Structure 1
Amino acid sequence: MKPDVVLKNFWKNNAHFADLFNAAVFQGEQVLKPEDLKEADTDVSSVLKFNGHAETDFVSSDEFLSNFKKTDRLHPVISLCVYYGEEKWDGPGCLKDMLKIPEKLQSLVSDYSMNLLQVRTSKPMQFRNPDVNTVFEASRFIYEKDYENLNAIYENKEIPSELGLVIGTITNSQSLIDRALEAEEKEGGQMIMCKALEELRMEGVLQGRTEGIRATVKTCKKFQINKEAIIETIGKEFSMPEKEVAEYVEKYW
């Protein structure tokens, strides 16, 4: 299943969507109510239509041509960008960041700030929906490699497989995705995260080891240390067989 489909399905739930906006846009105030929301097809462009106006309703030729009366008003659209990446957002934060504006024209160009929510910095958000809170909290722990808190809270906790799939999709954790799909088929849609978390922890350990080996190889190469000495050093440091270390050295040399 494609990542965008997984996330889109999660946010199609009115309770999830309302809680996201209430936390990110309204500072936790319960402004949006799930029962007041209606789904719209975001894949199809919409065109404003003002039906029911007889030609005699328009008081000027401009109104007639535009099909828009002086008394008509548009509904505002509030956009929220949810950034799921592990690294800090380094894109534009407002419209002006995307424009090349001569200094003399700066004051003449209206700006439009972005409503941005980053998963990695979402701790202050006041999520009230338990599913939404679980998705953001667990994803944040994984990004921070905070396996102590992750295990303390979620190791023996049963959660819907949908949440495991969403968390795995956000953090690109294949072990969570596989465990969630397995639970969806065999365990009534519920999963206990202990096995997936252990696999996830090992993934983190292996990733850290790989990064350490790569840095060691690059540093040793810079100081013109021969490969044999590097292989011996890394083998002792990481308790790895010589053949495996040699493969890493060749890869990162």
Structure 2
Amino acid sequence: MNPLGVKDTVTTKYMRQNEIFADAFNYFVYGGEQVINPESLEELDTREIDVPYGGEKGAKQPVQKTRDVIKSVIAMMDKRTAYLLLAIENQSNIHYAMPVKNMVYDALQYAKQVEEAAASHKLSGDYKGVDSDEYLSGFMKADHLLPVVTLVIYFASKEWDGPLSIHEMFAGQDARVLAFVPDYKINLIAPAAIEDSEFEKFQTTLKEVLSFIKYSGNADKLQEVIGIDEKFRHLGRNEVDVLNACVNANLTMKKGEEVLDVCQAIQTIADRAAEQKRMDTLLDNVKKLMERMGWSAEQSMDVLSIPESDRNSLAQRLK
């Protein structure tokens, strides 16, 4: 599987978990308030069918488009029951046409709801007595759509510099014209844009995953963040898979191990890196003496007082 495919697989598997999925929306939509209950989520078919309009030569074949994750939810808001459709699109790279991509997905979902309403009326036969407009529409006055909220989660450390709306994708257009062009904005969680204090609004390991990603390029800050957060001592396999695939964390879990102490793993990685740097320096010094003085590897290591414990390793690398 190619690297991009691995990233898509592990991030989708991670975000499909109800607790993680709910946490993302509770953070983004409700500022951390626990409105969406993970137990109220029900996973839906991620496939959407795009049926192109026909031309003189007839319609083309329908195209299947697949979302990453979409779930239905029943949420209580202001003592009222709200029925919503929530979707997540995982991005390990910046998609510079993301507003269009999401707009198509959402439009297909609304079209699907209209078609299902029409099919339901036809099956039940309750078109009798309605006016011609309702009959021809298939969608009655009393019918309603379920809102679709799509959230993009960017699993990379750099800032998102892609457009956040359809209007941002137009260039040099007359503002009077754009006033009549509906805008479409994307909802985005990008680690680089999250303030440190905002991470506290997450209630699951999404906090640790996103904060790790944010500081993955800053070793000192990353160690500081990991040292403060106790949950980094008990990170699960799904989280580790996401970090390894998306930011090359190089975290290693033993076979059969279900949790990892990231603090210890990071220290081990740092120790290995320091040891590798030490051995590289020794090797470089030995090579310089061999080239400049014409000495053997053994003579050069004697002059540098290199201990016996390092000599075999250096000898192997000099072959």
Common fold by TM > 0.5: yes
The percent identity for this pair of structures is 26
Q: CA deviation at 1:149?
A: 0.8
Partner residue, 2:65: none
Q: Distance in 1 between the 2:167 and 2:272 partners?
A: 40
Partner residue, 2:66: none
User: Which is worse superposed, 91-100 or 134-143?
Assistant: 134-143
Residue by residue, what CA displacement relative to the aligned partner does 1:38-72 show, whole Å, maximum 9, x if unpaired? 11122344522010352315312x32222101121
Q: Is the 8 A contact 1:20 1:127 kept in 2?
A: no
Residue by residue, what CA displacement relative to the aligned partner does 1:139-163 show, whole Å, maximum 9, x if unpaired? 2232333243145246982322222
RMSD, matched Cα? 3.2
Q: Is the 8 A contact 2:199 2:211 kept in 1?
A: no
Given the two structures, how large is their TM-score scaled by the length of structure 2?
0.56
Q: Is the 8 A contact 2:234 2:260 kept in 1?
A: yes
Q: After TM superposition, where is structure 1 displaced by more than 4 Å over at least 4 residues in a row?
A: 199-205
Query: Is residue 2:233 matched to residue 1:157?
Result: yes
- Higher normalized strand content (fraction of residues): 2
Give the alignment of 1:213-224 within 5 angstroms: none
Q: Distance in 1 between the 2:17 and 2:269 partners?
A: 28
Residue by residue, what CA displacement relative to the aligned partner does 1:186-217 show, whole Å, maximum 9, x if unpaired? 32x12222453136547998xxx9xxxxxxxx
Q: Distance in 1 between the 2:16 and 2:159 partners?
A: 26
Alignment partner of 2:134: what SS?
helix
Q: Is the 8 A contact 1:14 1:34 kept in 2?
A: yes
User: Which amino acid is 2:18 matched to?
Assistant: N
Alignment: residue pair count: 207
Partner residue, 2:128: 56
Query: Is residue 2:274 matched to residue 1:196?
Result: no
- Higher normalized helix content (fraction of residues): 1
Q: For 2:46, which of 42, 45, 54 is the aligned residue? A: 42
Q: In structure 2, do the counterparts of structure 1 residues 91 and 137 end up closer, same or farther at CA, with 3 Å as the change threshold?
A: same
Structure 1 portions without partners, runs of 5+: 210-234, 245-253
Q: For 1:130, which of 191, 197, 204 is the aligned residue? A: 204
Q: Distance in 2 between the 1:9 and 1:137 partners?
A: 19
Q: Is the 8 A contact 1:82 1:118 kept in 2?
A: yes
Q: Distance in 1 between the 2:201 and 2:27 partners?
A: 6
- Kindly name which structure, 1 or 2, has the bigger radius of gyration based on alpha carbons: 2
Give the alignment of 1:1-253 within 5 angstroms: 2-45=6-49, 47-48=112-113, 49-50=116-117, 51=120, 52-60=124-132, 62-100=133-171, 101-122=173-194, 123=196, 124-145=198-219, 146-153=221-228, 157-173=233-249, 175-176=250-251, 179-180=252-253, 183=254, 185-187=255-257, 189-194=258-263, 196-198=265-267, 200-201=269-270, 241=284
User: Which amino acid is 1:7 matched to?
Assistant: T
Q: Is the 8 A contact 1:141 1:149 kept in 2?
A: no
User: Which amino acid is 2:42 matched to?
Assistant: K
Alignment partner of 1:143: what SS?
coil
User: Which amino acid is 2:246 matched to?
Assistant: I
